[in-house]
């Protein structure tokens, strides 16, 4: 589940010191296994986040609601991430990082158990909100642990290795859980996520070395990163721009059945195409981040706009829709990972919050994309229309990032 492991010395036992930007440097006995364990937590998160989209019609039937209305459960999860990431990271900054990672991944599992036993629309909405709370905070602490285990020049690849778990989930976890949900009832898919979360927690305890928290951290100090202009620009660009991807992907099941004319059984294949693209994009994104983060974000946004526009004329062609799903998966990874590296750098001493904030931003995009998509569908414009909305959101995210970055840079140079 990990990409090519970043070059780093491997010792028989963990060693520690102080790395770049004050990061405590901890060398695990087996770097690959440590990154794999952290990625497994991302695998659990990616599975629960994305499988709900493929199971949306089944969940709607199960709770007696329309598909557009049931799409709000995806928004509920996203807003759980938005609330949980800064809150839990700020409160947990002093805690040992390995223990915090374990607690967060187990909390994710519990949230999925609540989803599985919820019976109607209201409880399912609440359960998805609870399940989303640990999401961003987990990636924040896991990214910081991964970055502390490698030399500074390989931090992008280490972070992408953790994020690769989320991408692999779209290849293996999401299609498999979608199959379970379609054949054994949608609730079974959420029980599967609970099992994955338990396995991830055990692996983290076994392979990730103990890493101390920051004893001097305070909630105010962590949240002070939100006042940094470059942090705000990157976060807002992610909030808006990433909504473009989810405006299309939230309704992928209906694109496959209603626009491409295929049966429900074909939906996992399109989820698989998205997932394979996401894995490839994650592998590339780490190397792009070590090359040039800013240019990588711009290129990712531009390509996303073009790809979403192509959905409009090509969604009725199954092969074309599969290729576009593949491309969207890859581009989403490129944008997300490079925004995360950017935020970690710009957040200064609050790097963990910077990493977590990226997931808050992206899940605002998730929620906005699903919401705007449901609006145009409910207005009778069909299941292709959200992709046009998505292209507009991605373009706006690009403009926010480019203009905001240049204005702030010019301001700094003029001082």
Beta strands of 151-290 (E only): which ranges? none
pLDDT at 274: 87
pLDDT at 218: 63
Average pLDDT by stretches of 10, the chain with 415 residues: 38 38 60 91 90 83 81 83 85 86 95 91 92 91 86 78 83 81 88 94 92 69 75 90 86 88 85 86 86 92 96 93 94 90 78 78 80 87 91 94 88 74
Q: Which residue has the tokens 């972070």?
A: 159
> Sign of the C-alpha dihedral, residues 247, 253, 256, 258?
negative
Q: Which two tokens stand for residue 378?
A: 């409910």
CB 322 within 8 A of CB 269: yes
Cα separation, 137 vs 353, whole angstroms: 8
Q: Round to the nearest angstrom and report the end-to-end CA distance of the chain.
A: 46
Whether this model's pTM surpasses 0.95: no
- Which residues are CB-contacts of 97 (< 8 A; sequence separation ≥ 6)? 141, 144, 145, 211, 212, 213
pLDDT at 167: 79
């Amino acid at each position: 589940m990990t990409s090519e492991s970043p070059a780093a010395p491997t010792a028989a036992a963990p060693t520690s010191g102080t790395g770049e930007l004050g990061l405590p440097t901890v060398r695990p006995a087996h770097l690959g296994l440590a990154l794999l364990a952290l990625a497994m937590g991302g695998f659990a998160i990616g599975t629960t986040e994305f499988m709900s989209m493929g199971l949306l019609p089944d969940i709607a039937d199960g709770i007696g609601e329309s598909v557009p209305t049931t799409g709000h459960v995806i928004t509920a999860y996203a807003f759980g991430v938005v609330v949980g990431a800064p809150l839990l990271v700020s409160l947990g900054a002093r805690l040992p990082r390995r223990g915090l990672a374990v607690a967060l991944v187990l909390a994710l599992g519990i949230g999925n158990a609540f989803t599985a036993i919820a019976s109607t629309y209201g409880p399912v909405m609440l359960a998805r909100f609870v399940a989303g709370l640990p999401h961003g905070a987990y990636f924040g602490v896991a990214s910081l642990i991964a970055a502390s285990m490698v030399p500074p020049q390989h931090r992008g690849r280490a972070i992408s290795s953790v994020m690769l778990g989320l991408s692999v989930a779209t290849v293996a976890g999401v299609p498999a859980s979608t199959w379970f949900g379609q054949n054994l009832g949608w609730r079974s898919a959420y029980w599967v996520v609970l099992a994955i979360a338990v396995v991830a927690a055990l692996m983290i305890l076994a392979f990730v070395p103990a890493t101390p928290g920051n004893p001097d951290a305070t909630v105010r100090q962590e949240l002070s990163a939100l006042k940094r202009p470059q942090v705000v620009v990157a976060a807002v660009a992610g909030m808006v721009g990433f909504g473009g991807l989810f405006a299309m992907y939230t309704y992928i099941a209906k694109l496959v059945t209603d626009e491409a004319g295929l049966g429900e059984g074909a939906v996992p294949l399109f989820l698989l195409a998205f997932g394979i693209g996401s894995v490839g994009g994650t592998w590339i994104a780490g190397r792009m981040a070590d090359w040039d983060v800013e240019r990588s974000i711009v290129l990712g946004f531009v390509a996303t706009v073009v790809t979403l526009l192509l959905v409009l004329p090509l969604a009725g062609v199954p092969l074309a829709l599969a290729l576009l799903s593949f491309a969207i998966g890859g581009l989403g990874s490129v944008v997300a990972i490079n925004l995360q590296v950017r935020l970690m750098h710009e957040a200064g001493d609050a790097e963990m919050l910077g990493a977590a904030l990226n997931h808050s931003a992206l899940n605002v995009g998730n929620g906005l994309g699903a919401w705007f998509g449901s609006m145009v569908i409910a207005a009778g414009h069909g299941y292709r229309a959200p992709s046009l909305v998505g292209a507009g959101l991605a373009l706006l995210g690009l403009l926010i990032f480019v203009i905001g970055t240049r204005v702030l840079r010019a301001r700094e140079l003029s001082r």
